[in-house]
Amino acid sequence: MSARDDILGTIRRSLGVTGQEAPRRSIVENRLAQAPRGVIPQRGQLDPQARAALFRTMAEAALATVEEVESLDKVPAAVAEYLRRGNLPARARVGEALAGLPWGETTLEVGTGPSDGRDLIAVNRAFAGAAETGSIALVSGPDSPTTLNFLPDYAIAVLRESEIAGDYESVWDRIRERYGKGTMPRTLNWITGPSRSADIEQTMLLGAHGPRSLHILVVKD
Amino acid sequence: MTSHITSPQFKENASRALVDAPLQQAMGNVRVNFIERRRAAAEKLPEFEGLRDSARDIKNHALEHLDLYLETWEQNVTKAGGHVHWARTAEEAREAVLAICRRVGAKTVTKGKSMISEEISLNTALEAAGIKPVETDLGEYIIQLRGELPSHIIAPAVHLNATQVESDFRRVHTHLDPKRDLSQPVQLLTEARGVLRDRFLAADVGITGANFLIAETGTSVIVTNEGNGDLTQILPKIHVVIASIEKIVPTLEDASQILRVLARSATGQEMSVYTTLSTGPRRPGDPDGPEEYHVVVLDNGRSSMLGTAFQDMLRCIRCGACMNHCPVYHAVGGHAYGWVYPGPMGAVLSPSLIGVDKAGHLPNASTFCGRCESVCPVRIPLPKMMRSWREREFERHLSPATVRGGLAFWSFFARRPGLYRLATRLGMGALAWFGRDKGKFASLPFASGWTKYRDFPAPQGGTFQQRYRDTRKQGARR
Ligand code: SF4
């Protein structure tokens, strides 16, 4: 017997079922179809403005920094200013989704495509935010390489204020809208603050393997 | 080939641990930090207790329908272009991983933190096949350098202090300046980051564990704070996930319910830094990501736990809260348990996985204070299950003669209430009289196992039954 059939067989024997019982099968089908939500924290159930404020509070509590930007067009200037403030080089790798912005109006040197590990700074387009914990969600795809989220020392993410949801479940609704029910992008990253480790004497230190800092630009729509 | 098991020598291990000064100091950190952080995080979320119920119910539902969800999950992995490898035993799981590595001629593999990898002793097998495994979680990296097992399921190097780590780094990182300053933990972190960055970029295969497998979408989920799991899985050509069958949850919503209690219970964070959902290999047009995606799904005795007194243990989400709150774990640390899973969860799970003959002592290492159950995010009745193991151990005549003799002696009196009252009254009276000066005993016949490490308090007069009667009488008068 194959390992697969053996394992499924033992599970069924232990549970005292055959796997063919119709009521059991329909319980499973219904659960998969309906995807019930369970307990949703009240804290994120707010009007859009208060939601954005909570997002900021929670993201900062997780040691990210958050900055508001008037419009998408102003993103390059905001990035340039952020790098200047931090005394960082004026060079960044940006996700294709942001390549059409007026980077030429700044002195930044901008490259696109995935990172090979030599980029100090990267700017990527986020898919959504969740106010309840100040987390952002980024999806992989031709115009948003996943390497940009992990290899650079300084990660910058761009998000529209209207993309900030109260809870994770509202983000799953949007994922299903975009990809279809049951289908996912290759990678979806929920990110809450910069990389850290507490493995040495339980002292929390930033910048373990991923970015030492996470800066989130929230674009007012 | 399973990792070296020293669980049968639990008592000797524990005795050694109790006099290990650096260990005792490190365990002090556990006691202070983890407990307080969890409490604060739980208090900040009014729905926390409700979410624990929800998490418990989801896991129960998934276990009751595990065969069907596994089938759905497999279909969806395949639909997304991934491959599922079923493994009944540790041996089959190792073989599946080795076969993939051999096919692509892998020389080095990077690894995210995975308890299943520890359970199946994957590193030993890879090394034997001439493939270099590189642990990338900082704690796992440190214990790999030392050739040790993890002493905690989420903080593998929690038993060590910075000075010990410094000397390991100096011993192994010989290509770096011997005069460099490593006196601060941040310098140790920076050095590890630099050394491992090159490994990430050079690896042929990346191996991660999984916190969840989502049936609805065929997705595997990892949760980390360092980002090492992500670098492990996006840079090499091949991503191999190793996970056990009970990691299945039905939907994205179900995973989210459990995520809300996972980090809060584990480290006291609202959410871990990186929660990553992976589905199949790189898509057409994707600029990065692995070209192949494999999941090795391991049973190793779990399917036989279903339908038994130990089914509830399969709800475990490996948060570590039970050991963080366990007075026995605080006293002896993780290595004393003698295998990969320490603390209360290990005391219940290890006998199921490696046998009660080897791990039968572990369920005895409990004071039955109940703190583990009170903090377990999926409400596993750990003390009750440890008691079940004790009963089985007793039934199978595996308990030592002193325990069996002692219990027989006690049960002789317990069945004769008059005699029991008389004997306890005499005994308590004698102890109180002998201990009347100091109020405690530094040594007692037949109780050196207790008095070697702490004093035994002298009774303050009266037996439990007497005091119970007196209190009831007083209560009735009020
Ligand atoms: S038994 Fe409960 S508390 Fe212990 S690791 Fe598992 S889920 Fe966490």
Please tell me the predicted confidence (pLDDT) of residue A214: 98
Please tell me the predicted confidence (pLDDT) of residue A43: 98
Please tell me the predicted confidence (pLDDT) of residue A14: 98
B337, B342, B346, B351: CA torsion to nearest 10: -20
Q: Is the pLDDT of residue B440 over 50?
A: yes
Please tell me the predicted confidence (pLDDT) of residue B366: 81
Q: How far apart are CA B57 and CA B62, in angstroms?
A: 9
Average pLDDT, stretch B108-136?
96
**Whether the Cβ atoms of residue B282 and residue B291 lie closer than 8 Å to each other:** yes
**Which is nearest to A126 in space by CA: A216, A57, A63?**
A216
What percentage of chain A exceeds 70 in pLDDT? 100
List pLDDT tens digits, range B63-90.
999 999 999 999 999 999 999 999 999 9
Nearest CA to ligand 1 atom 8: B319
Q: Name which CATH class applies to A45-219.
A: alpha beta
B235 contact A CB<8A: yes
List pLDDT tens digits, range B258-298.
999 999 999 999 999 999 999 999 999 999 999 999 999 99
Q: Is the pLDDT of residue B246 over 90?
A: yes
Please tell me the predicted confidence (pLDDT) of residue B396: 72
Residue among B314, B322, B362 to mutate when testing ligand 1 (max atoms within 8 A of CB): B322
Average pLDDT, stretch B189-201?
94
Residue among B58, B60, B345, B349 to mutate when testing ligand 1 (max atoms within 8 A of CB): B345
Helix (H) or strand (E) holding A157: strand A154-160
**Which is nearest to A52 in space by CA: A142, A149, A175, A166?**
A166
List pLDDT tens digits, range B123-159.
999 999 999 999 999 999 999 999 998 999 999 999 9
> Is residue B360 situated within a structural domain?
no
Among A21, A135, A199, the residue to mutate for chain B (most B Cβ within 10 A)? A199
Centroid of ligand 1 to alpha carbon of B333 (angstroms): 16
Centroid of ligand 1 to alpha carbon of B320 (angstroms): 6
Same domain? For B238 and B101 the reply is: yes
As a three-state string, the secondary structure of B26-83 is HHHHHHHHHHHHHHHHHHHCCCHHHHHHHHHHHHHHHHHCHHHHHHHHHHHHHHCCCE
- Residue A187 region, left (φ>0) first, then alpha (ψ -120 to 50), else beta? beta
ipTM of this model?
0.97
Average pLDDT, stretch A152-177?
98
Q: How far apart are CA B77 and CA B75, in angstroms?
A: 6
Average pLDDT, stretch B337-363?
91
Boundary (domain end) residue, out of B303, B318, B335: B303
Tokens of B228: 């090492």
Q: Is the pLDDT of residue B33 over 60?
A: yes
**Whether the Cβ atoms of residue A67 and residue A82 lie closer than 8 Å to each other:** yes
Number of folded domains in chain B? 2
Q: Is the pLDDT of residue A182 over 50?
A: yes
Centroid of ligand 1 to alpha carbon of B212 (angstroms): 15
Q: How far apart are CA B245 and CA A4, in angstroms?
A: 11
Please tell me the predicted confidence (pLDDT) of residue B393: 78
Q: Is the pLDDT of residue A120 over 90?
A: yes
Q: A14 and B257 in contact by Cβ < 8 A?
A: no
Average pLDDT, stretch A82-105?
97
CB-CB neighbors (< 8 A) of B189 in chain A: 197, 200, 205, 207-208
Q: How far apart are CA B427 and CA B409, in angstroms?
A: 14
Boundary (domain end) residue, out of B266, B284, B303: B303
Residue A200: phi and psi, rounded to 5, are -100, 110
Give the closest-approach CA distance of A103 to chain B in angstroms. 22
B265 CB neighbour count, 10 Å cutoff: 26
> Is residue B397 situated within a structural domain?
no
Give the closest-approach CA distance of A71 to chain B in angstroms. 27
Supply the mean pLDDT for chain B. Answer: 89
Task: Report how far apart, in Å, the C-alpha atoms of B328 and of each of B237, B323, B333, B353 are.
Answer: 44, 8, 8, 21
**Which is nearest to B264 in space by CA: B42, B467, B420, B50?**
B42
Boundary (domain end) residue, out of B253, B274, B303: B303
Q: Give the closest of B139, B158, B288 to A146, CB-based.
A: B288
Q: Where are the domains of chain A?
A: 1-34, 45-219
Please tell me the predicted confidence (pLDDT) of residue A65: 98
Q: Is the pLDDT of residue A139 over 80?
A: yes
Same domain? For B96 and B217 the reply is: yes
Q: Is the pLDDT of residue B476 over 60?
A: no
Nearest CA to ligand 1 atom 7: B316
Please tell me the predicted confidence (pLDDT) of residue B448: 60
The boundaries of the domain holding residue B462 are: 416-477
Q: Give the closest of B231, B250, B308 to A150, CB-based.
A: B231
Centroid of ligand 1 to alpha carbon of B147 (angstroms): 26
Residue A202 banded pLDDT, cuts 50, 70, 90: confident
Q: Is the pLDDT of residue B14 over 70?
A: yes
For the purposes of burial, counting CB atoms within 10 Å of the CB of A46, is it exposed (0-12), middle (13-18) or buried (19 or more)? middle
Q: Which residue of chain A comes nearest to B37, CA vs CA? A: A202
Please tell me the predicted confidence (pLDDT) of residue B368: 83
Assign residue B72 the CATH number of its domain: 3.40.50.10420
CB-CB neighbors (< 8 A) of A197 in chain B: 138-139, 189, 225-226
Same domain? For B296 and B421 the reply is: no
**Which is nearest to A197 in space by CA: B185, B423, B462?**
B185
List pLDDT tens digits, range A38-75.
999 999 999 999 999 999 999 999 999 999 999 999 99
Q: How far apart are CA B188 and CA B144, in angstroms?
A: 15
Tokens of A207: 């910048």
Average pLDDT, stretch B388-392?
87
- Which atom of ligand 1 lies closest to the CA of B320? 5
Residue B1 banded pLDDT, cuts 50, 70, 90: very low
Tokens of B440: 């405690």
Please tell me the predicted confidence (pLDDT) of residue B407: 63
Average pLDDT, stretch A176-180?
97
